[in-house]
Homo-oligomer: A and B are copies of this chain.
Amino acid sequence: MTRKTIRLLMPQWQGGNNPNYSFGAELLAWLAPDNDDQPLLHVPVQAYDGTPLENENGMNGRTQLLEQLKSAHHLIEAHKPERIVMFGGDCLVEQAPFAYLNERYGGELGLIWVDAHSDLVRYVGYDNGHTLPLGNLLGIGDDEFVKQVKVPLKPENVFIAGLKVPTEQETEVISEAFQRLGIYPAEEDSKVIERLGIRTAGAEELTDNLDVIKEWIRASGIKHLAIHLDVDVLDPKAFRSQLFANPSAPVNYSPEGTMQLPQLLTLLKELSAVTDVVGLGITEHLPWDSINLKKLLGEIPILNS
């Protein structure tokens, strides 16, 4: 029997303060395989109109982000699906679907966060909401966003896969960049992870087998699983359509993902084999070449006259 599954397209860009996220979401939805059983619903997002976002109480575009979160929530509640696929947009798009799924599945939802970053803490001075969706879902993020999560996830039901712990050399480069940019984490990610007892594994640990993840699923008794995928978990040399591989604006304040595409596919397939996957969110897709090509095509006279 087909279970009720919806797809959400949420071209949210305010969480990363970068309008390119909107196009990334649209391309992602276009690339996805057709599936007549999965209607595609559009979450209303205020398009970028040239006005810079306001920094409201430490978050750029806070009002818009909260409104959009509520729109996503209403849309989901109107359909009450059993499974949700989310096409983002910045990472913060994950909050509405995963909060709903956790409530639906009795507060026992498992969540695998496939990401080079933990997304648990606020980075003061960076002030973009996409640094803390996982924090919000666990009830320790931004107060106004946490209030929208009726049933916070249990930390023991969360696993961060592909987390990149910077090398000593990377740490030095990042610290210098942070200092120059006036950025600092409200609390160190690693300390939050330890305090909450969240399980993690780097991409390297997961190369040969996924036993550590399967064991976590078994031991935690996870029956329903949501998967978050931030494409920056991938090695930017293998997959360049991500924040940290912008050819015209290199970033040096974040460690690079190291996961390879075949490894990611294996992970997604095996998770589906050992548990019931009820949620999938794909985020932070920034297809630089297509963005640049679209811009170029939009200015070539013969195409526009």
Min CB gap A119→B, angstroms: 21
A242 CB, min distance to chain B CBs, angstroms: 9
Known contacts A239-B289, A301-B269: does B83 contact A294 (CB below 8 Å)? no
CB distance from A204 to the nearest CB of B (A): 19
Given known contacts A241-B289, A272-B302, A277-B302, A297 and B31 CB-to-CB distance under 8 angstroms: yes
Judged by a CB distance under 8 angstroms, whether A33 is at the interface is: yes
- Interface size of A in residues (CB-CB distance below 8 Å): 44
A78 CB–B CB distance under 8 Å: no
A221 within 8 Å of B (CB atoms): no
- Contact of A33 with B297 in the complex, beta carbons under 8 Å: yes
Q: What's the Cα separation between A301 and B28 when bound, in Å?
A: 16
- Max chain B C-beta neighbours (<10 A), residue from A31, A35, A261, A278: A31
- Which of B27, B85, B241, B303 meets A85, CB within 8 Å? B303
User: How long is the Cα–Cα vector from A241 to B294 in the complex, in angstroms?
Assistant: 13
Other-chain contact of A287, B237, B285, B290, B301 (Cβ < 8 Å) = B290
Q: Are B85 and A302 in touch, CB under 8 angstroms?
A: yes
For A277, the chain B residues whose CB sits under 8 A away are 301-302
Is A293 interfacial (CB-CB < 8 Å)? Answer: yes
Q: Interface code A78-110, partner B: CB below 8 Å = 1, 0 otherwise?
A: 000001010000000000000000000000000
Is A303 in contact with B35, judged by CB distance below 8 angstroms?
yes
One of B248, B269, B287 near A299 (C-beta < 8 A) = B269
Residues of B within 8 A of A272 (CB): 300-302
Verify if A32 is at the interface (C-beta below 8 Å from B): yes
Residue among A83, A277, A298, A301 with max Cβ neighbours from chain B (10 Å): A301
Residues of B within 8 Å of A290, CB to CB, are: 27, 31, 241, 287, 290
From A3, which residue of chain B is reached at the shortest CB distance? B305
Interface: A240 (CB within 8 A)? yes
> Are A247 and B241 in contact, CB atoms less than 8 angstroms apart?
no
In the complex, what distance in Å separates the CA atom of A281 from the CA atom of B49?
Answer: 32
Query: A18 at interface (Cβ–Cβ under 8 A)?
Result: no
Instruction: Verify A296–B261 contact, CB threshold 8 A.
Output: yes
Distance between Cα atoms of A272 and B304 in the complex (Å): 12
Which residues of A are in contact with B by a Cβ distance under 8 Å? 5, 27-28, 30-33, 35, 38, 83, 85, 231, 237-241, 247-248, 261, 264-265, 268-269, 272, 277-278, 280, 285, 287, 289-290, 292-294, 296-304
